[in-house]
């Protein structure tokens, strides 16, 4: 038993040290708990205000996948753990009025994070399976030793949620500023330039042309600033926005981009990755061609490849901010840039 727990904790520690996504850590803890306790299914469950949510699970049964939220009624092992803060076992799920997808028995032990009962680690027996008589004792011993990994995964989960909220809030504020600039300052500059041209024609005063040109430059700079805050082209979708980037690029850009609308936060993140990658290729890579590819399935996958000199990295580049934005949405950003062989920047974003 002690050897099995030690091996399980080692595997979990390796996963935590690799900065794996919290959902992967919760799933691995569930798998190791099931193996240590000799059962076919286990889960990490987080208590919420109305009930509970499956944070991670392991087992052949498709019931209760990660993310499943459910209320806690008057009975059940989870309810007992929540109410008492103690390990519990419940052997009468078949007699409840709720469809439990064949769940027959459950044993659960509390997961304590920062002195509070955060949730529970639960073992489950479906169909003809029975839990070992000492299931609660085995599970409690394992949970106590795995608590640091659980706390670490929870802290990372909260950090990612916080970063995601910050990204969404910042994008909303940028969108508001872009709209205010377009409807306010830009329109006033356009009106002022038109009025100046009318005065110039009425007075036949060519000396006013220089002032009109300065107003035109100021208007264009303001438009560029607004595009940087929130790209207006995204109002027509990522395909149109990438097309606009390709049109403005001095280096030829070929693109194969999925059409149709995507979640706003994903569209914005994908756009900034593509825009920054094209800018870097134009400014630093001595590239003669750029290719952009975007596909969508369970996740959005994009790549921007150039035929330049290579040697790019995250250090000292705008890619650091892009990586933070992508990771805040639970995505991944990678750079492949061997010297002399071009650069490929790729990202995956969950949909």
pLDDT mean by block of 10 residues, the chain; 351 residues: 75 77 85 86 86 85 77 76 84 53 76 84 80 83 78 71 69 68 72 80 80 77 64 82 91 93 88 90 91 93 94 72 82 90 93 86
* CATH architecture designation of domain 2-160: 2-Layer Sandwich (3.30)
Rounded distance between C-alpha atoms, residue 90 and residue 302, angstroms: 48
Residue 33 tokens read as: 């708990």
Around 59, how many Cα atoms within 13 Å sit in the side-chain half-sphere? 25
Residue with tokens 């969404």: 168
Write down the pLDDT at residue 182: 65
Q: Within the chain, which residue ranges are assigned CATH 3.30.450.40?
A: 2-160
Q: Within the chain, which residue ranges are assigned CATH 3.30.565.10?
A: 235-350
Beta bridge pairs of residue 304: 292, 345
Residue with tokens 């994903």: 266
Q: Give me the CATH code for the 235-350 domain, please.
A: 3.30.565.10
Write down the pLDDT at residue 229: 58
CB of 47 within 8 A of CB of 118? yes
Q: Residue 83 CB: number of other CB atoms within 10 A?
A: 12
Write down the pLDDT at residue 308: 92
Residue 309 tokens read as: 């000199």
In degrees, rounded to 5, the angle at the alpha carbon of residue 219 between the alpha carbons of residues 267 and 246 is 40
Write down the pLDDT at residue 143: 82
Torsion on CA atoms 254, 258, 259, 260, rounded to nearest 10: -150
């Amino acid at each position: 038993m002690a050897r099995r727990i030690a091996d399980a904790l080692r595997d979990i520690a390796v996963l935590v040290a690799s900065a794996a996504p919290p959902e992967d850590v919760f799933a691995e803890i569930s798998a190791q708990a099931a193996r240590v306790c000799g059962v076919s299914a286990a889960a990490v469950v987080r208590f919420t205000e109305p009930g509970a949510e499956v944070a991670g699970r392991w087992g052949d049964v498709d019931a209760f996948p990660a993310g499943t939220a459910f209320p806690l009624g008057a009975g059940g092992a989870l309810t007992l753990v929540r109410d008492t803060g103690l390990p519990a076992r419940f052997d009468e799920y078949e007699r409840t009025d709720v469809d439990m997808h064949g769940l027959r028995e459950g044993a659960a032990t509390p997961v304590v994070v920062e002195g509070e009962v955060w949730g529970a680690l639960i073992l489950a027996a479906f169909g003809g399976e029975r839990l070992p008589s000492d299931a609660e004792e085995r599970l409690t011993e394992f949970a106590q030793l795995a608590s640091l990994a659980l706390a670490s995964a929870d802290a990372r989960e909260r950090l990612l949620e916080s970063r995601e909220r910050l990204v969404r809030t910042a994008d909303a504020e940028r969108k508001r500023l872009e709209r205010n600039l377009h409807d306010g300052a830009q329109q006033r500059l356009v009106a002022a330039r038109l009025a100046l041209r009318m005065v110039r024609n009425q007075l036949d005063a060519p000396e006013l042309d220089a002032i009109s040109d300065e107003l035109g430059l100021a208007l264009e700079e303001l438009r560029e600033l607004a595009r940087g805050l929130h790209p207006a082209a995204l109002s027509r979708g990522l395909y149109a926005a990438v097309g606009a980037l390709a049109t403005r690029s001095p280096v030829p850009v070929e693109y194969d981009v999925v059409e149709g609308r995507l979640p706003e936060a994903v569209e914005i993140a994908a756009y900034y990755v593509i825009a920054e990658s094209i800018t870097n290729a134009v400014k630093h890579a001595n590239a003669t061609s750029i290719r952009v590819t975007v596909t969508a399935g369970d996740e959005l996958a994009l790549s921007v490849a150039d035929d330049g000199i290579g040697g790019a990295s995250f250090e000292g580049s705008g890619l650091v901010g892009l990586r933070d934005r992508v990771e805040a949405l639970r995505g991944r950003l990678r750079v492949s840039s061997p010297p002399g062989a071009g650069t490929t920047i790729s990202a995956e974003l969950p949909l």
